[in-house]
Amino acid sequence: MRDEQHLAALRIYWKAHQAFPAMAKLCEVVGLSSSSSVFALVGRLVDAGYLERVEGRIAPTKRFFARPLLGAVRAGVPQPATDEALELVTIDDYLVDDPNRSILCRVRGESMRDAGLLDGDIAVVERNAPASPGDVVVAVVDGDLTVKYLRRSQDRYFLQAANPDFADIHPKGSLEILGVVIGSFRRMRR
């Protein structure tokens, strides 16, 4: 259990500094009194897959950034809590299929609210993905950037909002699809 507390301290430090301190300072960060205790802790965290040794220093692994997935939680009638083991998941594992083609964009406005994309949400976009009518896409239409549903009428593509207060966008000149929205996330409170 103490290793979980030490791991939590390391995660907090990493969040603030995007790096780990030298081994001597690690004693202070994790609250241990001797460097031999820190070396033993690091060894256990390496064995558990949270850290790795790289060129004489420690570095976080993918597991270091993973968070416990509680499982399914009903939004309706409460359900009994279970003691089943929690799966560890990273946001990248869940939302990013190809890190070299994935970009993020912040949604502005209310035109896609009925698709679940609200003002301030971060959309995960897969660039150069084949887009089909019905996909939510990030597009450049006549030089302006937007996020909308891709639609097709006869032989022409157009963009449609997910809010009836907004008109369809029919390109006057060009329509370029930058990528397909494959997911999104939002912060509920600060």
1 pLDDT above the threshold of 70: no
Q: What is the CB neighbour count within 10 angstroms for residue 27?
A: 17
Q: Which pLDDT tens digit goes with each residue over 14-50?
A: 999 999 988 778 888 998 888 889 889 999 999 999 9
How much is the pLDDT for 151?
Answer: 98
For the sheet with 175-185, list strands across it. Answer: 102-106, 122-127, 175-185, 136-141, 144-153, 156-160
Contact, 110 vs 163, CB < 8 A? yes
Give the integer Cα–Cα distance in Å for 135 and 94: 19
Point out the catalytic residue in the list 15, 34, 35, 111. 111
Length of the chain: 190
Give the integer Cα–Cα distance in Å for 90 and 64: 9
* N-term to C-term CA, the chain: 29
pLDDT class of 55 with cuts at 50, 70, 90: confident
Per-chain mean pLDDT for the chain: 91
Task: Quote the tokens at residue 27.
Answer: 């004693």
Task: Quote the tokens at residue 152.
Answer: 């097709």
Point out the catalytic residue in the list 148, 153, 172, 184. 148
Q: Which pLDDT tens digit goes with each residue over 136-180?
A: 999 999 999 999 999 999 889 999 999 999 999 999 999 999 999
Backbone angles phi, psi at 154, to 5 degrees: 55, -120
Give the integer Cα–Cα distance in Å for 103 and 119: 18
148 is a catalytic site residue: yes
How much is the pLDDT for 88?
Answer: 84
62 is a catalytic site residue: no
Lowest mean pLDDT among 83-87, 125-129, 147-151, 166-170: 83-87
What is the rounded average pLDDT of the residues 67-72?
A: 80
Residue type, 84: E
90 pLDDT above the threshold of 90: no
Residue showing tokens 């030089």:
143
Residue % of the chain over a pLDDT of 90: 62
This prediction has a pTM of 0.77
80 pLDDT above the threshold of 80: yes
3-class SS of residue 135: coil
Give the integer Cα–Cα distance in Å for 67 and 87: 8
153 HSE (CA, 13 A, CB side): 8
Residue % of the chain over a pLDDT of 70: 99
Residue type, 34: S
Which residue would you say has higher pLDDT here, 68 or 182? 182
